[in-house]
Every structure is written in structure tokens, then in C-alpha cells.
Amino acid sequence: MLTSAQRWVILQTRDPEYHSAFVYAVKTTNIYCRPTCSARLARRANVLFYNTASAAEAAGYRACKRCHPEIPEWHPRLRGLVERAKGIIEAGKEEIGLKTLAGMVGASEWHLLRQFKKEVGVTPRGYWTVACQQRRGEAAVDELMREIEMAERDAPAADGDEFVDWDGGQ
């Protein structure tokens, strides 16, 4: 169990390792947040710590609209959101718009965009571009291999008995 002093240090550093370990409430705003929330840090005298979001709500605080501490990380709708989106992008032959992709994975456009960029490092469009380039690259390699195989199959078998005129018949 973390002490209040340890939680305050975690809160000051916004350590992502403790993203869902506890919540903190601000007395002056009546709002509670995750320790990684991007909201401005309150004065220490105005901060209370709670083990769970439900404990903070029971004490009369409402959830932050930035970090949504009331939504558990394992929420079924959000689990694997980016992985599902990546699978759809990789399987598709044509680019899918952000609105359509978000609808397919069950999230808002902006939530998908933020999560995708956070986890993958690029936007869904950027990921689609890279996936297309890889597909084209793989197709080009496959085509080259087929050409080489055909050339080897059609070439006469060389067993070393033929005379090769290296000097051009001079």
C-alpha cells in the first residue's frame, strides 16, 4: 500500500506505471483524477487520495472529463481498441476514413486517434500508408522471385560440357 507521501511524488511525476493504482481528489474543484491526468496540479493541501474511483465518488467528488478515471482500463469496449483498428487497416485494400474505422471498432473518432497515436506512434492514416508500402514491397519481391524461378526453369541445363567462347570468337 502506497503512503500519501509516495502518492504525492507519483502525482508530481505523473508516473505512467501508476496510471490506475489510485485516484486523487481536489477539494477546491470537487473533481477526482488519475495520477497521470494532464490537468494542472493542485496544491498539496487541497489533494486527497483514494484507492478507487468509487470511493472518491462516495466522498462526493465527480470524475474528471479529461482522464475519465471512472472508466476501468479493462473496459470491454476499449480493450484491444488499437489492435482491432490495426487488424482492419492491415486487412483492407483501400483506405478507411477515421469516422468509419472508429465506428467499426466502437469508439469515437478522437478517442481512437489519440489512443492509436499514443500506442503506435502514428495516426491510422500513417499506419495505412506504411502497411500499403509493405504490401507493395512484398508483392514486388514475390514477382521478382517468380521471374527468377521462371528464368532458371527455362534456361538450358549447364553441366559444364559446353564450350564457352569467352573472347567473342577472335
Distance, in Å, from the CA atom of 68 to the CA atom of 30, rounded to the nearest integer, reads 14
Q: Is residue 74 helix, strand or coil?
A: coil
Torsion angle of C-alpha atoms 89, 93, 99, 105, degrees rounded to 10: -40
Active-site residue, selected from the candidate residues 11, 37, 53, 105: 37
In angstroms, what CA-CA distances link 57 with 26, 49, 50, 61, 69?
Answer: 12, 12, 10, 5, 11
> Which one from 11, 23, 63, 64 is the annotated catalytic residue?
64
Which residue type occupies 49?
Answer: F
* 132 catalytic per annotation: no
| Spatial contact of 116 and 127, defined as CB atoms under 8 Å apart | yes
> Helix (H, G, I), strand (E, B), or coil: what is residue 168?
coil
Q: Which long-range contacts (CB under 8 A, 24 or more apart) does 123-127 make?
A: 124/85, 124/89, 124/96, 124/98, 125/95, 125/98, 127/86, 127/89
Which of 10, 11, 31, 33 is catalytic? The answer is 33
Active site residues: 33, 37, 64, 67
